[in-house]
Structure 1
Amino acid sequence: MKYRLLLILCLCFSMVSAKDKELKVLQFNIWQEGSIIENGFDMIVDEILRLEADIVTFSEVRNYNHTRFNDRIVEALAQKGKTFYSFYSYDSGILSRFPIISTETIFPEKDDKGSLYKAKVDFKGRTIAVYTAHLDYKHAANYLSRGYDGSTWKKLAKPVVNADSILADNAKSMRETAIALFIDDAKREIKNGNLVILGGDFNEPSHKDWTTNAKHLYDRKVAVHWPVTSLLENAGFTDAYRLKYPDAINYPGITFPVFNPDVEFKKLVWAPTSDDRDRIDYIFFSPLPFVKLKDIVLVGPEESIAFNKVVPKLSKDKIILPINGWPTDHMAVLATFTVD
């Protein structure tokens, strides 16, 4: 009996110790601060609590009516008994359950061309450099092969199916500029021994998704070596979703657009005669010896939108469904890491 009790105590200690090393990171495009959906702000708060997120990288922080969104989120969570930390930002943002050591603007928002911020977080004595990115939404060249302009979303005379032409249009955005600044800054953090985590809505697909084997899917028509994810990979950063699910056909990880029954349908549709579903929300990290990816899932409705219709889930993607409504037209991405 004594040995059995000792074994149980050891197992319990081991479970607590393992849990203590976990870090949950949530990438969350909140669709104009949840303002498009009735009670959207409350839904954002509820999801952060339900998912037990430690760090949240927000996209579409707008600070409407001279308010500070990050302050409002911190206050709302405090009213529910949870302490979080944040700082003033615009367009993208960071929320942390752990103290923030310092913050920095890496790519400031200007003319709605995207943004990128950094917060150094004290995770139980280890410094983590957390970055949030909401990249330029114009020159969304993934729409060209689907027959739509990626800046006006007007229907084209015919789809653009030449990869070089698509990449030429894509290069007119500020996405590569922003991500190059991230890479330069993040390399310094890694050199100092700090873990780097980047969450964001890139408004650009992955080169690991638009492959020759998958060009027949989602009305793509062509394989494209998208630059942002390629730059990150070449710089040594790991796409958490593709690390866990390298099979991009069975696990496409689509994050936009998703169906939301609480909003007028036409607000969800950007390319009515096509299938514009893509994975554009990501979590990247620096693959250092003391960090491991334990799991990564999508959060949001199962249904998506294609050809102006609601489409049921057909993939093998693991999805955590909403309970009391969903505040956005994106899926969120939740990654669980273990950090020694």
Structure 2
Amino acid sequence: MLLPSILSTALSVLLFLSPTLTHAIALPASQPPVYEGTLSLIADTTGSKELTFSYSIVSSAKNNWVGIYPASGGGPVEEKYVSNSLVWKYIPDTTNGIVKLDVGSLANGEYIAFLLAKDGYKWLSKPVYVSLQNNNNGGNGNNVVGFLVETVTLKNGRQGDGYSAKIAGLVTPGYKPRFEKLSGDGWVSVSADGVISGVPDRTRDSTITIRATIPTTGQSSTLKAMIPVKRSGSSLVPDLKVMTFNLWWGGTYVNNYHAKQIKFIISTNVDIIGLQEAHGGHVQRLADALGWYFWQPKSGDLGIISRYPIVEDYGLANASGGVRISLDGTDQQVNFWNMHLGYDPYGPYDFCFDKMSVEKVLQREAQSGRTPQIVDTLKAMGPQIRQAWNIPVILVGDANAPSHLDWTEELRSKNCGYANIPWPTSTKPAEVGLIDSFRIANPNPVEVPGITWSPIYPFHNGGTGKVEPQDRIDFIYHTGSQLQVVESKSLVVGRPGVHGSHRDNEWTSDHAVVVTSYKL
């Protein structure tokens, strides 16, 4: 969910550019582009406020350059000008070398560096994410490198089947360390660039210890990675865990958001995530860090990341989009859809602040775009829903509206004196057979409300002192007899400070997430 005043606040923050300047990186999930050059960050041991990059390109030019932009947006993510870089410099007229950029003027936060061609915006390499964490205390904070987590559970393997997983992205952004296996089962090998591979030779979960070392400095860090191994001939993914996660403009309103997001996602051990407010390459950023597959359309703020291969793109349908994910070849697949519906006008405000009639509020649900958006989404999903006996279907996302299952007679006082409201964004999925996984697991909304909006807004952002309506507006729906709900939760981590005191929150969003565990 977005509030107009949040957007205006973003304009006043020096570190971040206007979200309207953000563009999505349009990259195929299964075929990442191949660039002619490389760019990587070298650890700085001088204590100066400089970032040192090494580069390698096919052909040199006097006006090839490196520019640094906020990770929240503004960079040439579609190889076109969007806004001015914060810091830039021409690289030497050579095919390989180093370039140093003075970042002493930049605040702590997350940035992205682009290597660009001939005073233009054509990418010469994949961009590099940079995290400045100590830039106001004599040093840029990037001379400490390490794994972002101490332990990680990787995707499942199966006895007798080839296995491969990537862990290179789990280190401090911007570095290219050398990886090596320190201990673990003999079948597991670890390449210098961070690829775990082998063929499990027994039915036993494997734990391996991996070290990452920066060649130029000798700095190192270790990671314990666990690989669940299934029996030969059995299902590769007998249990599936999915999440819906509104990132809140990528997470950029919170310091050190990249590391915090990665730690949280790994702690949940989920398999598939539907992302909203993921503009400007945040989908690929998270997928690359986790070593996962990803889907992101050319426009909009939606994205999907998955441990398992994305094998078909269903494209966009108004405010939603979908893919088919192969959990175990053609034997086990799931159709996965993600939505982010319109946010204005917002129904709970109409009821709680303006005391509108039910008829008027339902009219405004259509005015907001939510009603036609959910109708178009369900229409696009129709053929898959009708075939859900074969391939199960999951729909996740931010509906920006509550559920009819929560606005009950028992909760009339909580819901500003209203009850039995047929919110279209929840009734219409139910009409076509989609099941609200959270309410299956937690059938009593009085005992388990599952609030997702908002952990940082106890009071309305309009400055009137009004209490912010607290509602469950993020959902995971499903259909298909193969899916049995085991558990569903709404989650945050830490104790989020309210908006205005949120910069150092451990939690990086203004929504809670929802996580549902299924038995297949």
Q: For residue 40 of structure 1, report the CA deviation from its aligned partner.
A: 1.5
Letter in 1 for 2:474: D
Q: Which has the higher helix share?
A: 1
Say whether the 8 Å CA contact 2:437–2:477 is kept in structure 1: yes
Q: For residue 205 of structure 1, report the CA deviation from its aligned partner.
A: 0.4
Unaligned regions of 5+ residues in structure 1, if any?
A: 1-8, 78-82, 109-114, 148-158, 311-323
Say whether the 8 Å CA contact 2:495–2:506 is kept in structure 1: no
- Counterpart-to-counterpart distance in 1, 2:293 and 2:230: 27
Say whether the 8 Å CA contact 1:27–1:332 is kept in structure 2: yes
Aligned to 2:508: 327
Q: For residue 35 of structure 1, report the CA deviation from its aligned partner.
A: 0.4
Alignment of 1:56-75 (within 5 A): 56-63=273-280, 68-75=281-288
Q: For residue 294 of structure 1, report the CA deviation from its aligned partner.
A: 0.9
- Counterpart-to-counterpart distance in 2, 1:39 and 1:14: 34
Q: 1:252 to 1:45 in 2, by over 3 A?
A: same
- Counterpart-to-counterpart distance in 1, 2:400 and 2:417: 16
Letter in 2 for 1:278: D
Aligned to 2:452: 255
Secondary structure of 2:295's aligned partner: coil
Letter in 2 for 1:129: N
Q: Does 16-25 or 115-124 show the bigger shift?
A: 16-25
**Alignment pair present for 1:168 and 2:363:** yes
Select 1:119's aligned residue among 316, 323, 335. 323
Alignment of 1:204-219 (within 5 A): 204-219=401-416
**Alignment pair present for 1:189 and 2:384:** yes
Aligned to 1:228: 425
Select 1:136's aligned residue among 338, 342, 353. 342
Aligned to 2:63: none
TM-score w.r.t. length of structure 2: 0.50
- Counterpart-to-counterpart distance in 2, 1:266 and 1:235: 36
Q: 1:280 to 1:304 in 2, by over 3 A?
A: farther
Q: 1:304 to 1:73 in 2, by over 3 A?
A: closer
Aligned to 1:106: 316
Q: For residue 42 of structure 1, report the CA deviation from its aligned partner.
A: 2.2
Select 1:27's aligned residue among 233, 239, 244. 244
Letter in 2 for 1:126: Q
Say whether the 8 Å CA contact 2:409–2:420 is kept in structure 1: yes
- Counterpart-to-counterpart distance in 1, 2:429 and 2:258: 32
Letter in 1 for 2:515: L
- Counterpart-to-counterpart distance in 2, 1:161 and 1:303: 34
- Counterpart-to-counterpart distance in 2, 1:138 and 1:35: 22
Secondary structure of 2:293's aligned partner: coil
- Higher RCO, Cα 8 Å, sep 6+: 1
Q: 1:196 to 1:19 in 2, by over 3 A?
A: same
Say whether the 8 Å CA contact 2:276–2:303 is kept in structure 1: yes
- Counterpart-to-counterpart distance in 1, 2:421 and 2:495: 26
Q: 1:191 to 1:233 in 2, by over 3 A?
A: closer
* 1:17-41, Cα deviation, whole Å (9 max, x unpaired): 6994011101111100000111122
Select 2:465's aligned residue among 248, 272, 284. 272
* 1:108-128, Cα deviation, whole Å (9 max, x unpaired): 4xxxxxx21101100113221
Secondary structure of 1:171's aligned partner: helix
Indicate the percent of aligned positions where both proteins have the same amino acid. 23
Q: 1:119 to 1:270 in 2, by over 3 A?
A: farther
Q: For residue 223 of structure 1, report the CA deviation from its aligned partner.
A: 4.0
Give the length in aligned residue pairs: 286
Letter in 1 for 2:293: Y
- Counterpart-to-counterpart distance in 2, 1:171 and 1:285: 24
- Counterpart-to-counterpart distance in 1, 2:430 and 2:463: 29
Q: For residue 88 of structure 1, report the CA deviation from its aligned partner.
A: 2.5
Secondary structure of 2:260's aligned partner: helix
Say whether the 8 Å CA contact 2:459–2:467 is kept in structure 1: no
Say whether the 8 Å CA contact 1:135–1:175 is kept in structure 2: yes
Q: For residue 266 of structure 1, report the CA deviation from its aligned partner.
A: 8.1
Letter in 2 for 1:96: S
* 1:184-232, Cα deviation, whole Å (9 max, x unpaired): 2222113342211011010000011112221111435454211110000
| Structure having the higher Rg | 2
Say whether the 8 Å CA contact 1:160–1:166 is kept in structure 2: no
Say whether the 8 Å CA contact 1:219–1:275 is kept in structure 2: no
- Counterpart-to-counterpart distance in 2, 1:303 and 1:49: 19
Q: 1:11 to 1:73 in 2, by over 3 A?
A: closer
Q: Does 194-203 or 138-147 show the bigger shift?
A: 138-147
Secondary structure of 1:49's aligned partner: helix
TM-score w.r.t. length of structure 1: 0.75
Secondary structure of 2:314's aligned partner: strand
Secondary structure of 1:177's aligned partner: helix
Q: Which has the higher strand share?
A: 2
- Counterpart-to-counterpart distance in 1, 2:444 and 2:467: 24
Q: Does 272-281 or 23-32 show the bigger shift?
A: 272-281
Q: 1:252 to 1:59 in 2, by over 3 A?
A: same
Q: For residue 275 of structure 1, report the CA deviation from its aligned partner.
A: 3.7
Q: 1:59 to 1:270 in 2, by over 3 A?
A: farther
* 1:287-333, Cα deviation, whole Å (9 max, x unpaired): x2221011111110587899x9x9xxxxxxxxxxxxx8111111111
Q: 1:293 to 1:329 in 2, by over 3 A?
A: same
**Alignment pair present for 1:337 and 2:518:** yes
- Counterpart-to-counterpart distance in 1, 2:315 and 2:332: 22
Aligned to 2:352: 146
